[in-house]
Structure 1
Amino acid sequence: MVEKRRYPRYPSKIKTKFSYYSGNPDEIDYDISVPLKGKGVICDISRGGVLIITGERVSVGVPALMNFKVGKTKRAVHGHIVRTGLLANNPTEVARRMAGFTTHGDAYVAVEFKEPIEISRDDL
């Protein structure tokens, strides 16, 4: 299978807090809507995005603001949600690897960053 990703992914166990919106992305008025707050664990990170295990239910397409710390560096990274679902319904190898994170939630959320970040395996 040919790898389609632009950036290498690194396994991680980074706690995160994130803000996101609820509902249909085409109908949200971002000027007056108040974002919801969520938390979880980043189990996989790259320069282009993260995969989070969480208990939150989110909609694909909505903006998200990720807050996390790598080493001593705090990050606040804007992105949008590209994929989400329940771990139990995902038969992939990644879902099997994420089984150890279920104490942090029963859902996964994939976030693509607005701009790539600087990160390497050595940072983790």
Structure 2
Amino acid sequence: MSSARSPPISDLATPSRAESPPTPARELAPSFARTADPLPTEPAVIAGKFDERIQTLVDGFRVAGIRASGTGSKVLLNEKVFKINDIVDRTNSLRLTQVTNDSLTFTTPGGVTYVKNF
């Protein structure tokens, strides 16, 4: 029986000098996929200026009834019922913000207020 001796394990794990070292992993090309920019949480509101056209619109509202009771106030305006913070004119984003026994207050997104007295 011949006893053939195998090389030690440490010799098997390291490459010999005749072998070339392993090539480093190729860098991957940058991904062109882009995450979407986050949406703003609040719309940008530009401070508005008083608009005579909107005041004319407010003056032309037909008020048929009012129930002034704090936050539960309601108004019958142009044959429709509106509550506090309802938008009464979508074109101008005009919102009903206050109801009293003798006036209605409307506000635009820019913070300009318009009052209808009666």
TM-score, length basis structure 2: 0.25
User: Which of the two has greater strand per residue?
Assistant: 1
Structure with higher Rg: it is 2
TM-score, length basis structure 1: 0.24
